[in-house]
Structures are given as structure tokens and as C-alpha cells.
A and B are shown apart, each in its own frame.
Chain A
Amino acid sequence: MSREVSERAARVAPASRGSAPDAPIPNLVEQRIRFEPDGSVTAFSGKIEFGQGIRTAFAQIVAEELRLDPERVRMVMGDTAQVPFDRGTFGSRSIAQDGDALRKAAAYAREQLLRRASEKLGVARERLTIADGAVRDGGVRDGSRGLTYAALAADPPLAGEVPDDVPLTPASEHRVLGRPRARVEARDIVTGRATYVADVRLDGMLHGKRLQPPVRGARLRSLDDAAARAMPGVRVVRDGDFAGVVAERAAQAQAALDALEADWTSPNGDDQQTVVIPMREDDGVDAALASAAHVVEASYVLPYISNAPIGPSAAVADVRADEATIYAGTQRPFGLRTEIASALGLAEERVRVVPRMPSGTYGRNSVGDASFEAAMLSRLAKRPVLVQWTREEEFTYAPARPAAVLDAKVGVGADGSLVAWRYDEHTNAHGYGFAVDPRVAPFTSGRNAIPPYRFGKGRITLYIEPTPVRTASFRSLAAAENVFAIESLLDELAFAARTDPLTFRLRHIDDPRLRRVVEAVAERATLGERSSAGLGKGLACTIYHGTYCAQVAEVVIAANGTPRLTRFWCAVDPGLVVNPDGVRNQIEGGIQQSASWTLLEELGQRDGRITTTGWDTYPIATFRDAPEEIDVHVMGDEAKPSTGVGEPGTVPVAAAIANAIFAACGARVRELPIGAERVRRARPNG
């Protein structure tokens, strides 16, 4: 408790930075690496750890370049008072971008310290050796003339912009990178000591609940709070349309919230329009289709689904007259700081966002609802406030993954090659707000709409349609939707052209790295071998943000049509691999989660109001649904930059499963989730 409070005294970030969205962020060594007197190193990143293992990977990266044991590197992540500006943790870009910046900063620091040591000791650079955080004259055996990193870095303080061409440790000399490493948080997690957002306890802290408006934009016409006010330990607070309760105990706050009687006005319907974005427009698509030997025309449908974290949103805020501290499970600490500062009317530098581990979150924590509520309640109550959403609130108010309808008409020529590709993607906004920026949308709502194949003439159009459901970014954004359609289509086309799905794909792949993972996974899964009745294997692949990922699902269909995922194979090439076991864990988890989306999940809603309230009405995969084996073959490429693995594993799964179901029983299911009934209806003989 006291530790949390004392952190208030730590220095506040000097100034707000980075208002222009794409201004390059300078990589300053003094903002990245700090040498401690005890020989350890503290390194700083604006990224957030929420289960993807980057705290461990970053420590490995810094340790490698500074020739340290990773145990000696402590990562400070996301605290806006301590770390350099960062736009946010998403898009599986953390290792690629911030890992690279940290690596260069550490390498640069090492080179500078070596230069200083060479001058101080009067010894040529080549004779110096480094070990355990000190530089020594390698020609002297007594070891007495070591200079510690901390001493070398102190005078004058090591500072300046890290040049882009700083010499990095070559892969052949890596001692830490590329080796499996247990997560640094593991021990705290298994003993229950890990502090999640909802575990932050401050002196004088109250429990708070916001009275949620029934729909976005509703206005509070009247509030009868007499019953709530009469409850012991409870206060009702209100500022315009924002109302809520704070109480000494969590259960009291909930009871008081339930006792509020509110009358809301409905907002005027907003007149949002469909945004149409052409993503590819070749001439002659229709002519090519008309001349095709086989044409497949199909629609694929995905429902709204929920992020559904096991821990619902939470936040703690301590708002004072002229400053505020927010403990949050955010993916965008600096973005959140801006939002909170403006909501509270404080200057940005008076607001400090301190990230704490959230429950695993898959895009949803780009939106800072609970933090905003905690900040408002704390300001009104003049006490620190913990907000903990209930399970029902999480399903009801958290943004959902957009729904999608993918309409395709694709042609294959007489020689078995793709000649024309027409594809309309209908979906909703995948951004953080509701406004659609047509320059950004192809990379969010249109992500992976362009197939990684040679497909002839193409016309690919993105339609972003308004919806009363609150939608936002979700793991892999639209890639999971598009790749379900595209990779299902590839199998349908192969079938039409009487080719097997592997050969058909390979015939249309130019990229050697994609070819490599596809061939590898097909071999490991013994794809193409005859299998027993009711059992089928399905292939799918993707290139996601530079990561190559190919998968094979094996399913068994029960007599009543229920598909069961029994085994799964994945070959992945994420460039230079930092922590192979970390890669495997992320990919395995992505597969398991995406299998759950595919087979089980659909968020209930009526006119934009979510009707799902709990796990009983939103089943996700359990231990009983887990496949017997998930085989992840990490085939990195040391010569290529590291790319992300948090999202790619989820992307081809739905199509791999749908293709396996087709292989098992001839049922082509084009709508998710795929349950027994959809399989039965699509099965040739019911």
C-alpha cells in the first residue's frame, strides 16, 4: 500500500510529446537505459506487458547488447512519468519497433562506454573486455582495473540520440537472444503476488461505480438517489450526465448503484454513413471473370464477438486538486493521459498514468472506460477510487469485435490459375472512436483483405458500415475476418479446379517465406494422407504484419454434427526470434482463443443493446475443448527483423477449422460460429 502511495513522489514527465500522429519519436539513450550503482541496468519502454511476454523479451534484448545476465535488467514499462513517449501496444509491433529501439540504445550505450573506458584506461578498444557490467583491460590478469558501467556512464552523463547504424551483436554471437527463457513474472503470478489493476490499494480508497447510460450519448434527465443515499457508507456523486456512487465497501457500492432510479433521454440517432474505400481496382475484372473456367461465388459471415477478458475492466484513480495518478490496464498510457487530462481539465504533465497488469486483453484496453470513470469519481468524491466492472458490465459496455460479411466472386482459368478476384468486405469501424479515417481504415478495417496470392485481376472494396453496437479494435483487427473468407475460398477454388488445397496454394504463392511455412506445416501435419471417416484436416495461411504463419487443423465430427478440434499444427516465421518459448506460448494461445471464436462465440444483441450477460450465455472454450496437441514449429529467420507473434496465430485458425470440417464430412460452413447445427445443415446428407 505505502509503495503505491510513495510512487506519487516520483518525477513527473517533463513535457507532453508527440501530438502529431506520425512524427518520428527520437530514441534518446538517457530515456532508455539507466546504469545502477549495483551493476544492474534499468531499461525503459512505453509498451505494456499484458501476458504477451515482452517484458521478458525486452530484458533479453538489453542484456544481450550489454553482455549482462537478463536477471540484471529491470524493465520499467508504460509509466508516463518514467518512460519515453509511445503510441500504444498493438499490432504485434512491440518487438519489431520498441525492441529494435531498445536494442540499438543498449548497443549504443555499450559502444560509448567502451570508448570512454579506452580513454580512461589508456588502452586500445580491441584490448578491452566486458563482463558483469564492467569494462576491463583484457591484457591485465589481476582484474583490478575494471570500470563499472555506472561509473563510466556518470561523468558526463551518457546522453544523446541513438544513431540508426550502431553496430549490433551479430546473431552468431548471441548468448541470450534466441534462447528460451521463463517469464520474469512467472513466480509472482503462481504465488498470487502479482499486482493487477484491481489489486491496487491506496490509503483512503473507496469503491466506485458509474451509473452507465443505457445507450451511447443518452442524457440523464432525472435521478432519484434517495434510497442509495440512505445506505450506510455510501455517497452519490453527479456531474451533469455523469453519475455514480462511492462507498467504503465494494458490495455497498454495488447495492447503492442498484438502488439508483434514473430517467434517460434517448440520443438523436446519429446519421453515420457507410464509408466506401476501394483497395484495389484493376481494369478488366469482369471480363476475366466471364472467361474463367470455374467461378466460385460465396459469402462468409462473422458475428459480433466480445473481448471477454477473464478479469473485467478495472482502474484506480487518485485525483487531487492539481494532479492525478491513474493506475490502469491500458494499452495506450500516453493516449489515456491526454484523455484523462482533458476530462479533468488538468495539464497533461500533471497526470501520471501508471500501468498495472490487466487481465489478458485483446485490443479492448485501447479504450479507457474504467480509467475515465475512476478519475471522474475520484475527482467528485475527493478520495482515491477503485472501479471494478462486473462481468455483466464487461459484456454489456465493452466494445465488441465488428461483424463482417465478405462477398466474393473469384475465377479460375482452364489451366488452374486464378484469373479474377472480386471481393467486397462489409464490416464496422475497427478504430478507437467512431469516426472513420479513410487513410487509416485500409490498415485496420481492411487489414489482410488483399490475398497473399497471385490472383489475376482484382477489385477489392471495403465498406465500413455504421452500427448501433459499440465496436473497436480486437486482436488482429479485420485480418481474422478476411482470412477466414480468403482461405476458405482458396479451398473452395481448389475443389472447383479439382486440385488439392496445398498444390493449389503453392501454385499461387510467390513469396518464398510463405511457401516455406506452408510446406513445413503440411509436412508436419502429414496433410494429404488419407484419414478415417469423420476426421479431416484443413490448411490455411497468412502473412500478418511481416510474420508468416501456416496452420493445419484436425477435427473430428460427431454423429450429431458437433465439430471437435483434436490437433493443430502451426509453422511460423517471425524473423529473428528473441524467445522461442515465448513465441510458442503466444501462438498456442492465439490458436486456442481463435478456435473458441470460431466454434463457440457470438455476442447477443438487439438493436445495438447487448443481451449477453455472463459466461452461461457466452460460452468460450474450456479445458474440455482444448486440442490434445498444438504443435508450433518456430522457423525463424535470423537475417530478417523480428516481427510480432501476438496476433498472427489467431488469423488463419477459422479457415483451417472450416476447411478441416469440409474435409471430414463435406460440409462447407461459411458462417461463424460453427456449431453442430450449421454442420448438419451444410452436410451433403444432413
Chain B
Amino acid sequence: MKYRLRVNGGTRDVDVPRGTQLLEVLRDDLGLTGARYGCGRGQCGACFVLADSGRGPRAVASCLMAVDQAATVEITTVEGLAHDSELHPVQEAFAAGDAMQCGYCTSGMVISAVALLASSPKPSDAEIRDALAPNLCRCGVYTRAIRAVKRAAG
């Protein structure tokens, strides 16, 4: 089945079985491995991408979104956040604050933080915790990540 996807500001054509997870399409067909597999069930946030259906970007689990649905929205992955090698402020803040260890969860956290700041530019601590709660981190960088999001908010 052929699909035309809008990803990271461009269009990409793929030919994959109907119902294929967006996560698999990104990683195996489009070479965008920044969205990571963690659970496949919407429970960890490692696979998060931004999906925009015209009302602003939302962080969604690409492991739960079928390619059919993905074709109806604008997708931004972590690879699409930096422009001309200039990092997005959230990326900048995570890197500067060393808000990572293994970094496996980082893509998803960055995506959730970008979505949060798009709808709430000056979030409180509690808002940050709530918005990022779907993103699990086993290495335990939560307190640093909260600081990084605040720093990105300026």
C-alpha cells in the first residue's frame, strides 16, 4: 500500500502494509531512528513524535499510530527539530544541562517538552512533571530534565 507522509517539513512516499505502525515506518523505511522502540504499547514515551493536524503540535506515541492515520497529519521527529544545525532551544538546554545518561529516552522527552512549550510557554514545575510523566527514564535524569525544560522556557 502506498502512502504519502508529511515528515519534518517534506513529503516522503512509502509502500508498506496497511496498518503498519508509524514507528516501524520511521525507523525501517525512512531511516529516522531517533524515535525509539521501548514498549510498543504507549507506556514509555521512547517513540514519541509531534503530530499536528492543524491545531498545533501534540506529542503522540508513534508505536500506536498506524501509517494510515499518520498520513493525515504533519509529523515532526526529533531529527526535524534542529534547523540548519541550530538546535531547538529544548535540545540546547538538554545538552547544556547534561540532562541525559544513556539518552535512549531523550528523544521522547525532548518531543514532549517541545509540545508543552508550544502550548504553555512558561510552565510550572507541576505542569512540566505532568507533561513529561509519560516519558519513562530508567537512568533517572528527571530532576535535570525538569531544569532543562525550565531553562528552555527562558
Q: List the A side residues contacting B118 at CB < 8 Å.
A: none
Among listed A49-57, A169-177, A262-270, A655-663, interface-contacting one: A49-57
Is B133 within 8 A of A589, CB to CB? no
A-B residue pairs in contact (CB < 8 Å), sample of 23? A186-B98, A190-B78, A192-B77, A199-B33, A201-B33, A249-B24, A251-B17, A251-B20, A251-B24, A309-B138, A310-B44, A310-B46, A310-B136, A357-B103, A358-B102, A360-B102, A360-B104, A585-B98, A589-B140, A590-B140, A615-B44, A623-B132, A627-B143
Q: B124 at interface (Cβ–Cβ under 8 A)?
A: no
State A292–B28 Cα separation when bound (angstroms).
Answer: 68
Q: A467 at interface (Cβ–Cβ under 8 A)?
A: no
Q: B81 at interface (Cβ–Cβ under 8 A)?
A: yes
Among listed A111-119, A295-303, A522-530, A591-599, interface-contacting one: A591-599
Q: A359 at interface (Cβ–Cβ under 8 A)?
A: yes
State A600–B34 Cα separation when bound (angstroms).
Answer: 29
Residue among B35, B43, B103, B145 with the most chain A CB within 10 A?
B103
Q: List the B side residues contacting A251 at CB < 8 Å.
A: 17, 20-21, 24
With contact pairs A390-B40, A585-B144, A627-B143 given, residues A311 and B104 touching in the complex (Cβ less than 8 Å): yes
State A185–B128 Cα separation when bound (angstroms).
Answer: 25
State A189–B105 Cα separation when bound (angstroms).
Answer: 9
Is A588 within 8 A of B144, CB to CB? yes
Residue among A310, A592, A615 with the most chain B CB within 10 A?
A310
Is B28 within 8 A of A190, CB to CB? no
Partner of B101, one of A182, A311, A585, A614: A585
Q: List the A side residues contacting B125 at CB < 8 Å.
A: 628
Chain B interface extent, by class: 35 or more
Q: List the A side residues contacting B17 at CB < 8 Å.
A: 249, 251
With contact pairs A183-B98, A192-B79, A192-B107 given, residues A391 and B39 touching in the complex (Cβ less than 8 Å): yes
Is B91 within 8 A of A615, CB to CB? no
Q: A616 at interface (Cβ–Cβ under 8 A)?
A: yes
Q: List the B side residues contacting A196 at CB < 8 Å.
A: 33, 36, 104
Is A615 within 8 A of B101, CB to CB? no
State A251–B104 Cα separation when bound (angstroms).
Answer: 22
Convert B45-84 into 0s and 1s, putting 1 for each residue whose CB lies closer than 8 angstroms to a CB of A.
Answer: 0100000000000000000000000000000011101100
Is A191 within 8 A of B34, CB to CB? yes
The secondary-structure label for the interface of chain B is loop
Q: List the B side residues contacting A581 at CB < 8 Å.
A: 98
Q: A81 at interface (Cβ–Cβ under 8 A)?
A: no
With contact pairs A621-B142, A626-B146 given, residues A191 and B82 touching in the complex (Cβ less than 8 Å): yes
Q: List the A side residues contacting B81 at CB < 8 Å.
A: 191
Q: List the A side residues contacting B141 at CB < 8 Å.
A: 585, 588-589, 592
CB of B66 to closest CB in A, whole Å: 11
Q: List the B side residues contacting A198 at CB < 8 Å.
A: 33, 36-37
Chain A interface extent, by class: 35 or more
Q: B12 at interface (Cβ–Cβ under 8 A)?
A: no
Partner of A615, one of B24, B36, B39, B140: B39
Q: A500 at interface (Cβ–Cβ under 8 A)?
A: no
State A439–B39 Cα separation when bound (angstroms).
Answer: 40
Residue among A308, A312, A390, A623 with the most chain B CB within 10 A?
A623
Is A191 within 8 A of B129, CB to CB? no
State A246–B130 Cα separation when bound (angstroms).
Answer: 40
State A566–B104 Cα separation when bound (angstroms).
Answer: 26
Q: B41 at interface (Cβ–Cβ under 8 A)?
A: yes
Q: A194 at interface (Cβ–Cβ under 8 A)?
A: yes
Partner of B106, one of A190, A312, A358, A388: A190
Is A616 within 8 A of B142, CB to CB? no
Q: List the B side residues contacting A624 at CB < 8 Å.
A: 129-130, 133
Q: List the A side residues contacting B98 at CB < 8 Å.
A: 182-183, 186, 581-582, 585
Is A388 within 8 A of B136, CB to CB? no
Q: List the A side residues contacting B128 at CB < 8 Å.
A: 623
With contact pairs A190-B110, A192-B78, A195-B33 given, residues A391 and B140 touching in the complex (Cβ less than 8 Å): no
Is B37 within 8 A of A388, CB to CB? yes
Q: Which residue of B lies closest to A187 (CB)?
A: B95
Q: List the A side residues contacting B44 at CB < 8 Å.
A: 310, 391, 615
Q: List the B side residues contacting A308 at CB < 8 Å.
A: 138
Q: A193 at interface (Cβ–Cβ under 8 A)?
A: yes
User: 12 additional contacts, CB 8 Å, given A195-B33, A310-B104, A359-B102?
Assistant: A50-B102, A183-B100, A190-B106, A191-B34, A193-B34, A199-B27, A310-B38, A585-B98, A589-B141, A593-B139, A621-B140, A623-B145
Q: Which residue of A lies closest to B33 (CB)?
A: A199
Q: List the B side residues contacting A192 at CB < 8 Å.
A: 32-35, 77-79, 107
CB of A534 to closest CB in B, whole Å: 20
Is B36 within 8 A of A623, CB to CB? no
Q: A685 at interface (Cβ–Cβ under 8 A)?
A: no
- State the 3 A-B residue pairs at the shortest beta-carbon distance, nearest first: A192-B34, A592-B140, A51-B102
Q: List the B side residues contacting A494 at CB < 8 Å.
A: none
State A628–B124 Cα separation when bound (angstroms).
Answer: 13
CB of A482 to closest CB in B, whole Å: 22
Q: A347 at interface (Cβ–Cβ under 8 A)?
A: no
CB of A192 to closest CB in B, whole Å: 2
Q: B9 at interface (Cβ–Cβ under 8 A)?
A: no
Q: List the A side residues contacting B21 at CB < 8 Å.
A: 251
State A49–B135 Cα separation when bound (angstroms).
Answer: 23
Q: B7 at interface (Cβ–Cβ under 8 A)?
A: no
CB of B40 to closest CB in A, whole Å: 6
Partner of B43, one of A53, A586, A616, A621: A616
Q: A285 at interface (Cβ–Cβ under 8 A)?
A: no
Residues of chain B from 4 to 33 with CB closer than 8 A to chain A in the complex: 16-17, 20-21, 24, 27-28, 31-33
Q: A620 at interface (Cβ–Cβ under 8 A)?
A: yes
Q: B115 at interface (Cβ–Cβ under 8 A)?
A: no
Q: B1 at interface (Cβ–Cβ under 8 A)?
A: no
